[in-house]
Chain A
Amino acid sequence: MTKKIIIKPDQEKTLLIETLENSEIILEKDSNLTLIALLKKGWEKTKKINFNFKGENATLTFMAIIIAKKNNVFEFETTSNHLVPNTKSNFQIRSVLFDKAQINYKGALIIAKNAQHTEAHLAHDDLSFSKDSRLQTIPSLEIEADDVHAGHSATIGKIDKDQLFYMASRGIDKKTSEKILTESFLKKDLDKIPDEKIKQFIINQLEGLK
């Protein structure tokens, strides 16, 4: 079952979701969608989200904040189909991994032949706290137009030792500094959220973390 969402011409929308569903999202001319996924509970089967750019000058920001604990499994795919010229997509996945949690992510950016002047970027940044967790990330690019800006990046690792040392030298214990640094890591892109209420909701959620 696939959910279909259409962002109409000139429409500007900010959406917050707390679980993923198989869905097709269509962006029409001059539309602007900010989709934020705050994910704390895993699911069983792969969830697929397709973004189809059908109108020029459509813009998408997809933000996923994943707090993966215990045995939770987060398996999902996003596909960004740039079918017309002058569209923009920006994917930012931020995840923290604890316990035996797993993340399997595939993020595809596909730019069709006539979709000149596309800007498409995808980033997955992860902090890992457990040797038993597993992470697989496959960002991919398929590009058939030549006048585009496209790229993806990934960083995976532990909390920076220098940062921990800095905090420790200020008398902050390890647990507190880890909490502060994790929070700030997850909050990094919240400025891009245009809706104040949603932004505040996420901040409250993150501060409630142990």
Chain B
Amino acid sequence: MKTILIVEDVALNRELLVQLLEDDYRLVLAADGVAALERAAEAKPDLILMDLSLPNMDGWEATRRLKADGALSRIPVIVLSAHAMRGHEERARASGCDDFLTKPIDETLLFEKIARHLGD
């Protein structure tokens, strides 16, 4: 079973992702950017779902650091953001993320993207 790191500060939304994915994946959770980097280093997940607005360290910075870390840079990062203004997606992609999804999350689209990045 593949491991997915869920980085999300809002508990309800974290819980929603858990309910959607727990049957099919092993899940590791983080509520801010700093924790995200720690969990990623410990658990070496196969994929990371990254929120952008996070306390301590935001998602853009966390993504940039992950991608700058030789050991973690290959892990696909899918950004999940409630930011819908033009510019956010570009910024996220510039920080190195591999994909982008707008909240509220369309579950079908989410499953599709996860499967594609995991090569399933």
B is bound to A: no
Residues of A within 8 A of B (CB): none
